[in-house]
Structure 1
Amino acid sequence: MKLVVEVVEAQDLIPKDGEGSANAFAEIDFHNQRSRTRSVSKTLNPIWKQKFYFTLDSLESIKKQSIEVSVYNERKSFPYRNFLGRVRIPGSGVANRGEESLQRFPLEKKWFFSHVRGEISLKIYISPDPDTPPVEIEPEEEGEKRVKKGEEEVKEFKKVATTRHISKHQSSSPAAVPVKMPALSMSVPAEEYKLKEARLNLGERWPAGDKQVSTYDLVEQMNYLYVRVVKAKDLPPNPLTGSVDPYVDVKLGNYRGTTKHFEKKTTPEWNQVFAFSKDRIQSSVLEVFVRDKEMARDEYMGKVSFDLNEVPTRVPPDSPLAAQWYRLEDLRRAGDTKVRGEIMLAVWMGTQADEAFPEAWHADAAAVQGEGVFSVRSKVYVSPKLWYIRVTVIEAQDIVPVDANRAPEFTTKAQLGNQILKTRVSQSKSLSPMWNEDMVFVAAEPFEEMLVLTVEDRVSPGKDEILGRLVLPLTAIEKRLDHRPVHSRWFNLERYGGFLEPDPRRRELRFASRIHLRICLEGAYHVMDESTMYISDNRPTARQLWNLPIGVLEVGILGAASLAPMKTRDGHSTTDAYCVAKYSQKWVRTRTILDSFGPRWNEQYTWEVFDPCTVITLGVFDNCHLGGGDGGGNNNGKPAAKDTRIGKVRIRLSTLETDRIYTHSYPLIVLQPSGVKKMGELQLAVRFTCISLMNMVHLYGQPLLPKMHYVQPFSVSQVDSLRYQAMSIVAARLGRAEPPLRREVVEYMLDVDSHMWSMRRSKANFFRIMSVMSGASAMLRWLDEVSMWRNPVTTVLVHVLFVILLWYPELILPTVFLYMFLIGLWNYRFRPRYPPHMDTKLSWAESVHPDELDEEFDTFPTSKPHDVARMRYDRLRSVAGRIQTVVGDLATQGERLQGLLSWRDPRATALFVLFCLVAAVALYVTPFRMVALVVGLYVFRHPRFRSKLPSPPSNFFKRLPSRIDSLL
């Protein structure tokens, strides 16, 4: 069933934009489902005629709910909207489909002092289906429409690129003449994408005097009943089979946990822990049954009962409660009749701070069975230690070529796992080639692969003949901890035998030649973060090079709210959410909360901080590996399921004040092929504690990366390759843990696709540059207004200040620094109060074109039809052509500057040299103050003394030659 709300129009609204009109839009809220209309500009009688569909739980539920429709005025500055009025319609009066009618509702106030007028026209009814289901478009038709639209864009780009009459300011940027693109319709107001402060009572629910409060105070206390089933002994065998296959059932009300069973064992050992949330306890008696697993029906062997009122409470850091033996009670007889057999148990009340919490079976995950049990537990992972293997191939000697009648073309290939690098062909055509080239690989401890080097002869294009091979274990390679040089060594190459041809009859021919190498292991710093600017650690791998920590980062992962449904199970939508946090080498994963759109984790984690200019990343995912069901993995030949991303949060530590607890709800924003979407909110409590303020201040003046990075830096192509290899290694190693941290999670947390082309990112980066340059451009505009005497008072004051500084030049630098000091103090009152978060406007995610989104989510290489790919290629060429023109213009100005003294234009250079001689003599005999005064007064002269024609120096500079004449 659907609730349909058609927003038709509004009349006689209050003007709010300062021009006697309003930019009105309507927002509909029904049972935590929100939608909004488009904004209609410059009118007090907006017409929308838009329909919105809301999901109903049942026909009875709507009678207890209401529909709220609010009208706002949209603004570009803060506050981003003004309230114009609202109406509330009770759900009990909603008509069915076919019985609806257009109704007018007077707008009401939200607050007592609100000034509201006007009315809004609505149609509200219940429909079993949406009135206008989306029209299915065939892929071919959709592609044709996209191609047609793209060709129109390309024509517009070409028109802009070929236009010669562009102003000076426009020609300086590639986005000077933007092409208008239709924007995606927004269903979420902009305020929903912003950070919200959460009012939480952290630590207040922990009992007074609790020792754990000081180290576990960023989350709310959650009480659990823990049952540890250790082992059993003296279990009676089954009289029919003569053996016993025991297992244990732990039952509390409607919740039941089961241990694994052992075959034919009278003294089993389980050592499993069961946790029952105190908020969900429905019984006052805990029962532990021991059962014998049989083919037809499992037999009860005995039980142990506990009164929950008598269960002791344990508070860490107290030692774990000791388990004890309990005699089994007979189920078939009343009273306290005992049977043969005993079971060792420990039962206590505790919190999530208990050591047993991460490994325990939780009652709220009772539906998970089999291998899926391991994937719902909270875990801590550690990234492998990464090392760079730097191989310098210097030369080789006594190489025996395949064909002695041709000039050899020797190359060296190095392979480490799936990493393969090759040198260039040696320029020396002798049998002792020289290369002197560096090759860098990434490896992780413990080292599992071997480094294989082969010397090859390129006998023909695409065919290389192996002439010798060297296999080196990484454990035998020297580790370099500083920038001191590594000594080179000669290694013998194997031509036969070994890995190439293990034929014992030809071992006498094994030695062929030798190769000269310089090879070492260097401590890697996290290259997988380096190129994305989301660095979480700057330390080298070698612990000997670490400094002392300067602080501690504590994060309380409280929970999530209003998560979007991610899948369907048993006919209803659901989400099984867990959170992953990554900082430095430590990854943490919370437990999975099943079938909840508002999971409460309340788990707290701690990291040591070695550099405040680092970022912690947190991501929320939907668990699709619970065993069986829809997300069970590889079922019936289907591909393995992947955990679905829900959203991500980044927090830069340097933006946090020390010793302050930040409690905020972070919106989980995901960019999908259909546009930007809010998937819910993540509630966090973050505290950054400083250990030594002096060490932190000193750290701001230190290099970001170890000294080796600056002594022997990597090229841009090497950084990209190393980052990808490091990410692959980390994903493979974390995927081998139990439970595995899967590859799709690691890739999303490390932004593996951040280097891919995106029109949206390109526009966002361009406008970031324009925003950075806005301060300089504002300063230039102000100087232009001063020189043009737009405000005579300001111009006169600038003249006075200019003369004072000119006569007392020693005051120039103190005045500049004092001015910046005062600006800094003035801006302190406007400092950000919240940590920065993902901005949909800055990312250009709110107004992105649908085809640009489709291109961004396309595979690499592309999987689109030829026509679509051709259209996008033409669009990319047009944009790149405009960028190429701007870069060419900058190069032309630089070459003209060089042409002043290059005598490329003899007359221009002669004039400039003569001018330099006259200027030197004039500046020598004239006091500097007088020269500066004349120049300043000339720059600030009144407009009536100005000419509209360009100045002679500008004309002279534009006539200078450049090398553009030599381009093809």
Structure 2
Amino acid sequence: MMQRPPLRPEEYSLKETSPHLGGAAAGDKLTTTYDLVEQMQYLYVRVVKAKELPNKDITGSCDPYVEVKLGNYKGQTRHFEKKNNPEWNQVFAFSKERIQSSVVEIVVKDKDLVKDDFIGRVIFDLNEVPKRVPPDSPLAPQWEGELMLAVWMGTQADEAFPEAWHSDAASVPSDGLASIRSKVYLTPKLWYLRVNVIEAQDLIPNDKTRFPEVYVKAMLGNQVLRTRVFARRTLNPMWNEDLMFVAAEPFEEHLILSVEDRVAPGKDEVIGRTIISLQHVPRRLDHRLLTSQWYNLEKHVIIDGEHKKETKFSSRIHLRICLEGGYHVLDESTHYSSDLRPTAKPLWKPSIGILELGILTAQGLLPMKTKDGRGTTDAYCVAKYGQKWVRTRTIIDSFTPKWNEQYTWEVYDPCTVITIGVFDNCHLNGGEKANGARDTRIGKKMGEVQLAVRFTCSSLLNMMHLYSQPLLPKMHYVHPLSVIQVDNLRRQATNIVSTRLGRAEPPLRKEIVEYMLDVDSHMWSMRKSKANFFRIMGVLSPLIAVAKWFDQICLWRNPLTTILIHVLFVILVLYPELILPTIFLYLFLIGVWYYRWRPRQPPHMDTRLSHAETAHPDELDEEFDTFPTSRPPDIVRMRYDRLRSVAGRIQTVVGDLATQGERLQSLLSWRDPRATALFVVFCFIAAIVLYVTPFRVVVFLAGLYVLRHPRFRHRMPSVPLNFFRRLPARTDSML
């Protein structure tokens, strides 16, 4: 198998290209057209139905199907058994680039064991085929003899494109065609389910000579949580503990609560159980306390190997249950969040614009598998933003696939990230042969993808206002969740999303969803640790440079500069009220000066920042290793996993420190032009206000504000803190 030579470091950078894109958008500024991708011409043939087909078999029946032929390409509908008036309603698409004939032939045949019988034929001259340009009305099918069909020339913007059989997929079996088509998926609506276990009454253990040591076990699907064990000598235990779950609409599982008695180490007995349907659970949009309820506990006993319900049982459990609509259910990495809205739709704010993504081509892909003795790749692209996932069609056997598909999303917050991945389709054969196969991440290997991205803002004022708002919904600050809770709930949310999307047709498989949601971001990696270390060094380098510069001032390396610093020092000592205006004016001038070198390209995956270029093969082997590790022996495995677990936490802390420093740097870098513009305007105004205000008054007011009474403090984050948290960092450029 031939391998592509490794790319030089300069080839890893973001490249600007000039593809032949579609026409510019017309009309309203939020009107979206298929203008971010190259227009691809297709010949479409829609075979609708047939009527009164003649009988062909000896038994006096007809098993019809339709064959569409264009040169060397041939598509075939499914066949019906013993049906003279079949309805297929199937669409065939032939790429204009590969058309090798001047006519398209539609043949109706009768399925037979030995040789299929000919029923009829319709031939169209391609020069006479009409053209249809979306959003024109669909071309109405017409009767051609006993066959109803429609033939037209169109582009990939045609509404028939996603469900059409493509000539590129001629080698794919019919049971694998679904896995190559483009598809739009929606993340199920996720809720946090809060179960406040308050107390229980009149518990009767099986052994009535002892007081039970009880706890409550709550189950929702595969999520299981337990309260602490209440070991006091009473039949009315109290816990007052919150148990948090993730639930997805439509609600398929019931909440099962059981009170269990720990009779011995490793041995628990069920005292009572209750089952609660989530359909009847109240939904809370804020932090107001809901009314609690008592639920009867049912006793389940086993008689002759079967569960029987014992009705004469009076134990009860006191609960407060609600579906939390005021939280945003986190299923993504916090560094790559694409959606920050609360679950409840009434709490959503208006969108601020539309994001359009054109997925054009990929180049330099490596062979991902072997077919007929040669390397091949069947690539498709997945993009995820907010609740909407998109998957392009699979391009069969190509290292330079051309998708040219365009998608749109509504944007509610500019401080979000869209995630795009390229994968190799390993499920083209369908049936048993594809079972157990996993689609491979091409992006972790080699190659580059060509994209066209456009963000159209609907309200600049609303966007600027967002910089003063909390990043997450209000409930995350009024009733915060612990770090451990957030991690556990994110893991459960990821499992639910991957399970639901895996049941779609075609499925978006578990390995794809987990990779796009960055499930293994907390895992130890020597490469990531080195990258985060050098990120911190990059943040600290200006401070080190200032220290060296000041040392040179003290050593009189440049006498003129040292004399000027002495003059400035004397002025600030004599007129201390000039200190703060001078600082803000200096920051304002730096921000304006740096405008000349503001970033001209959107942020992207930076392999140099991620140390992907210099990674040692052993480091990559460690990064791609399984967890737990598959490396022998058992003692090394145990120690290795422990090291990775501890180092992963250190890696996260180091990365968070680097993020805060990079946000400080971004104040004047114009990476986010809106944030920098707001900051430099603030600096200019602050310089003027602090100049006209006596310094002692400023210090007095600042001291009173810092020492203000708790009555005047708010639990919500302040405006400066909200602004700081929305500043960009280089986390969204990390591999």
Q: Structure 1 length as normaliser, TM-score?
A: 0.64
**Counterpart position of 1:311:** 129
Structure 2 letter corresponding to 1:473: S
Q: Which residue of 2 aligns with 1:198?
A: 17
Note if 1:464 corresponds to 2:268.
Answer: yes
Work out the CA distance in 1 between the residues paired with 2:103 and 2:593: 65
Report the alpha carbon displacement of residue 428 of structure 1 after superposing the two structures with TM.
3.3
1:431–1:591 Cα change, 3 Å: same
Q: Distance in 2 between matches of 1:255 and 1:325?
A: 24
- 1:240 deviation in Å? 1.4
Comparing 385-394 with 829-838, which one deviates more in the overlay?
829-838
Indicate the RMSD between aligned Cα atoms, in angstroms: 2.9
- Which residue of 29, 42, 48 maps to 1:230? 48
Decide whether aligned partners of structure 1 residues 270 and 549 sit closer, same or farther in structure 2, where only a CA change above 3 A counts: same
- Within 2, Cα distance between the matches of 1:218 and 1:562? 22
| TM-fit CA distance, 1:795 | 2.5
Equivalent position amino acid for 2:160 in 1:
A
Distance in 1, matches of 2:614 and 2:25, equals: 50
Q: Match for residue 475 of structure 1?
A: 279
Query: In the superposition, relative to structure 1, how do residues 762 and 258 fare at CA in structure 2: closer, same or farther (>3 Å)?
Result: same
Give the C-alpha shift of residue 708 in structure 1. Answer: 1.0
1:30 corresponds in structure 2 to none
Tell me whether 1:445 sits opposite 2:249 in the alignment.
yes
Deviations 1:699-738 (Å, cap 9, x if unpaired)? Answer: 1110111111111111111111111111111111111111
State the match for 2:512 in structure 1. Answer: 745
- Correspondence for 2:171: 367
- Retained in 1: the 8 A contact 2:216–2:257? yes
**Structure 2, unaligned runs of 5 or more:** 655-694, 697-735
Letter in 2 for 1:347: V
SS for the counterpart of 2:297 is strand
CA distance in 2, matches of 1:499, 1:253: 72
Identity among equivalent positions (%) equals 69
Matching of residue 710 in structure 1 with residue 512 in structure 2: no
Q: Which residue of 2 aligns with 1:863?
A: 630
Q: CA deviation at 1:398?
A: 0.8
For residue 640 of structure 1, what is the aligned residue in structure 2?
Answer: 436
**Per-residue deviation, residues 519-575 of structure 1 (Å, max 9, x unmatched):** 10013524111x441000001121111111001100111111121111121222211
- The verdict on how the C-alpha distance between 1:528 and 1:227 changes in structure 2, with shifts beyond 3 A counting, is same
Is 1:760 aligned to residue 527 of structure 2? yes
CA distance in 2, matches of 1:873, 1:386: 35
Is the contact made by 2:107 and 2:121 (CA closer than 8 Å) also made in structure 1?
Answer: yes
User: CA 1:442–1:361 in 2, change beyond 3 Å: closer, same or farther?
Assistant: same
Q: Alignment partner for residue 65 of structure 2, among 233, 237, 247?
A: 247
Q: Does residue 692 of structure 1 match 2:692?
A: no
Matched, 1:436 2:240: yes
1:269 Cα deviation from its structure 2 partner = 0.3
- Identify the residue that residue 544 of structure 2 maps to in structure 1: 777
Mapping of residues 326-405 of structure 1, within 5 Å = 326-327=144-145, 342-405=146-209
Q: Flag the 1:214–1:843 CA change in 2: closer, same or farther, 3 A.
A: closer
> 1:528 maps to which residue?
331
Mark the CA change 1:870 to 1:312 in structure 2 (over 3 Å): closer, same or farther.
closer
The one-character-per-residue Cα deviations of 1:482-514 (angstroms, maximum 9, x if unpaired) are 22222211111111379999767x6442x3311
Q: Which runs of 4+ in 1 moved over 4 A?
A: 206-209, 211-214, 497-504, 870-880
**Aligned-pair distance for 1:201?**
2.8
CA distance in 2, matches of 1:719, 1:440: 10
Q: CA deviation at 1:192?
A: 1.7
CA contact (8 A) 2:30 2:458 kept: no
How far residue 786 of structure 1 moved from its aligned partner, in angstroms, is 2.6
Distance of 1:425 and 1:868 partners within structure 2 = 34
Query: Could you tell me whether the CA contact under 8 Å between 2:523 and 2:644 is conserved in 1?
Result: no
Secondary structure at the counterpart of residue 403 of structure 2: strand
- Contact 1:289–1:303, Cα closer than 8 Å, also in 2: yes
TM-score (norm: length of structure 2): 0.84
In structure 2, what is the equivalent of residue 515 of structure 1?
Answer: 317
Amino acid at match of 1:721: N
1:797 aligns with 2:564: yes
- Tell me how far apart the structure 1 counterparts of residues 72 and 645 of structure 2 sit (CA, whole Å): 66
- 2:502 maps to 1:735: yes
Q: Does 1:258 align with 2:62?
A: no
In the superposition, relative to structure 1, how do residues 633 and 617 fare at CA in structure 2: closer, same or farther (>3 Å)?
farther
- 1:720 maps to 487
Q: 1:507 to 1:407 in 2, by over 3 A?
A: closer
How many residues align structurally?
Answer: 651
Q: Per-residue CA shift, 1:319-374, capped at 9, x if unaligned?
A: 111111111xxxxxxxxxxxxxx010111111111110111111111111222111
Q: Could you tell me how far 1:226 is from its partner in structure 2?
A: 0.7
Contact 2:298/2:311, CA 8 A, preserved across alignment: no
> SS of 2:151's equivalent?
strand
For the pair shown, which has the larger CA radius of gyration, 1 or 2? Answer: 1
Offset of 1:766 from its aligned partner? 2.2
Indicate the SS of the match to 1:441.
strand
Partner of 1:590: 392
Asked if the contact 1:495/1:512 (under 8 Å) is kept, the reply is no
Q: 3-state SS of the aligned residue for 1:344?
A: strand
In the superposition, relative to structure 1, how do residues 499 and 821 fare at CA in structure 2: closer, same or farther (>3 Å)? farther
Tell me how far apart the structure 2 counterparts of residues 308 and 855 of structure 1 sit (CA, whole Å). Answer: 57
Correspondent of 1:840 among 607, 614, 634: 607
Distance 1:325-1:396 versus aligned 2 partners, 3 A rule:
same
Contact residue 629 and residue 641 of structure 2 kept, 8 A: no
Q: CA 1:195/1:633 → structure 2, altered by over 3 Å: closer, same or farther?
A: farther
Which deviates more from structure 2 when the two are superposed, residues 747-756 or residues 757-766?
Answer: 757-766
CA deviation profile, 1:243-282 (whole Å, cap 9, x unmatched): 0000000111111110000000000000000111111111
Q: Distance in 1 between matches of 2:590 and 2:115?
A: 81
Shift of 1:805: 1.4
Q: Do the aligned partners of 1:228 and 1:273 also contact (CA within 8 Å) in 2? A: yes
Q: Per-residue displacement from partner, 1:141-181 (whole Å, max 9, x unpaired)?
A: xxxxxxxxxxxxxxxxxxxxxxxxxxxxxxxxxxxxxxxxx
Q: Shift of residue 811 of structure 1? A: 1.4
Contact map agreement 2:299 2:310 (CA 8 A) in 1: no
Match of 1:580 in 2: 382
CA contact 1:862–1:869 (8 Å) conserved in 2: no
The answer (yes or no) to whether the contact 2:48–2:90 under 8 Å persists in 1 is yes
Residues 185-229 of structure 1, C-alpha deviations (whole Å, 9 max, x = no match):
xx431112111111223225x9999x9996111011111111110
Correspondence for 1:490 among 266, 290, 294: 294
Q: Secondary structure at the match of 1:521?
A: strand
